[in-house]
Copies of this chain bind each other. A is one copy, B any other.
């Protein structure tokens, strides 16, 4: 069993840390929220004094934070993990951030002889709790092999997708398809509803064919039931598409649909809907068309 550092005790980090403890690993935890850190210690984690302290005590450290700036601060800051890490240790960032930032952090780590993997996840809180996240890893093969037994405590699918940054690039590809598929579902069902059809009948008529998708199966029923309890918040999807568009511009890639969907999200955020589940991306076109997609008679 290994000693694993863990920084970031939010909605995702807490259950992921718990799964490391369950598997028998020693976990040195740290987070700025004292209450959450206390709770982790009660569950069996060792108390880290600071990011730097976690780096000093654990040869392998997992971070799970909101976005790139937080990861830069926690890893590279004056009192960051890296300031404590011994050469030869490994930092695994499981946050969903801009892959360009992953590469920048990896370079700073390498300069101190510390290895780095980006390993963002998909599946949200339920799969974090179950330990069945999909984990997309970027980095070199040797570090991947070192991290794999740790990652397998938290995820059911752990894939090496390329060098550092590739994990987050894969995650961005995922988030582009999810957001665009939700928005396309919104257009299709808004048209059908305005034309007098029952959108539930439409979903059932098409979901077995080429229009079928995990989005239609999982998010279609939420839209029809007007149930936008998150799940995954629009605010977070806005962050992911921002990272996708920044990465695209830096790499000279043109993403017109992603850019359009990001503008739809901006409108929803302006209307105070940023904390709704991302299935509500489909409501932009509804509102623009002055119609509401719901089951007939509902």
Contact = CB atoms under 8 A, between A and B. Distances in A.
A270 to B, nearest CB: 16
A180 B181 contact: yes
Interface stretch (A26-34, A82-90, A164-172): A164-172
Interface string A190-201: 111011111001
Contacts of A204: 159
B173 A188 contact: yes
Given A173-B189, A176-B188, A162 B209 contact: no
Interface in A33-85: none
A252 B288 CA distance: 10
B177 A188 contact: yes
Given A191-B253, A256-B288, 12 more contacts: A122-B206, A123-B209, A136-B205, A169-B195, A170-B197, A172-B191, A180-B183, A181-B211, A187-B255, A211-B214, A254-B289, A260-B260
22 contacts: A99-B195, A159-B201, A159-B205, A161-B201, A169-B192, A170-B201, A173-B188, A173-B192, A173-B202, A176-B188, A177-B188, A181-B213, A183-B257, A187-B258, A212-B213, A213-B213, A252-B290, A253-B285, A254-B288, A256-B264, A257-B261, A260-B260
Interface of A: 99, 122-123, 134, 136, 157, 159, 161-163, 165-166, 169-170, 172-178, 180-181, 183-185, 187-192, 194-198, 201-202, 204-206, 208-216, 218, 244, 247-248, 251-258, 260-261, 264, 285, 288-291
